[in-house]
Structures are given as structure tokens and as C-alpha cells.
Amino acid sequence: MKRVIDGWLQGVARLPTPNVDDRPAGERVELVVIHNISLPPGEYGRRNVHALFTNCLDPCAHPFFAEVAGARVSAHILIERDGTITQFASFDRRAWHAGASEFNGRPRCNDFSIGIELEGSDFDAFTDAQYAALDEVLAAVLGEYPVRAVCGHSEIAGGRKTDPGPFFDWARLALPASVCLPSARVSAR
């Protein structure tokens, strides 16, 4: 089982992002947000997400990159199609993954959440390796932080986001009953 030490998941690659800052004083991690991402859309395994999260994406390398290369974003964790886990930000810091967001009436979800990106899209199923890696990450995070809920980006982004998308199988998450899923997903457990 993986462990978290000083905000870092042990036994995974680290690639620190500049797209992070301190959480507001007194904020605790209480939410995990699941995302999906692929760059360019629908293409996998090219490490372009790594480049985006570290502000190194070449806007000339693909027409779509010109649209997103200036974005200053990063999740805490990326899980690739083969289950490879890379951590970009300490869980103790605020990564810039959720944007304008609200959870249960509470705005600015980046302040109190951990963002986990799955390499994928709204149009493809996620892999068994990704679900296994996600369960490892969630177990480590839940062992270290007082997480009360796990949700998709779509649940906190006020209709502007759709991820992790319709192919994400919420029933496959190995979560204790004390951790809430979005109300639409509870019946799937």
C-alpha cells in the first residue's frame, strides 16, 4: 500500500508544477475531484499532459495546443492509461485543477480538494490499470486526510465541465461508506 509523507505519495514519479500555491490558512483537504484529460483530445501516451502541467507545452506542436498552452493548470496526480502515477503537487498545497467551482454551496474547491486526472476522455472507457492505480491513490489519501467526498469535475463546475465523463465507472471505486459520492452515483455503490 502506498503512503503519503509530507504531502507526497511514496513510490511514484514526481514532476513538480509551478501551478500551485498555499492553501488558505485553516483549510483542510475534504474533497477529491476526479477529472479526465488527453492532449490532443482523444490521444494518449505522449506526455503532453506532463508538459501542460509544467508550463512546457509547445503551442506549435499541434493546432489544439495553441488554445491551451497558456493555461496555468495542474492536478495533484495524473494516472496514465497503463496505470503510471505522476504527482505534480504536494497534497498539502493548492493545485489549480478545478477552476470556478462549488461543492455543497462551498465555492473555490481548489482550496479544500485534491485533483486527480485520469488520462482519458468522455468517449473512451478507462483501463483496469487506471482503476487499480486510482484505488491505491485514494486509499493513501483517505489514510492521511479527512476526505468526506469524492466527485467528478462535472459535479463542481456548474455545467461547464463533463469529466470524468459517462464512461467512468463510479461503482469500481473502493471507498469506505463514510466517504460520500455525488447523489447521482450513490445508488451505483
What CA–CA distance (Å, rounded) separates 32 from 147? Answer: 7
Domain boundaries, the chain: 4-186
pLDDT in tens, 167-184: 999 999 989 989 998 764
- Positions annotated as catalytic residues are 117
CB atoms within 10 A of CB 63: 9
Residues 87 and 5 sit within 8 Å (Cβ to Cβ):
no
pLDDT in tens, 134-152: 999 999 999 999 999 999 9
Write down the residue that cell numbers 459517462 correspond to.
Answer: 166
Can you give the pLDDT at residue 185? 53
pLDDT in tens, 6-17: 999 999 999 999
Domain with residues 4-186, CATH architecture:
3-Layer(aba) Sandwich (3.40)
* pTM, 2 dp: 0.95
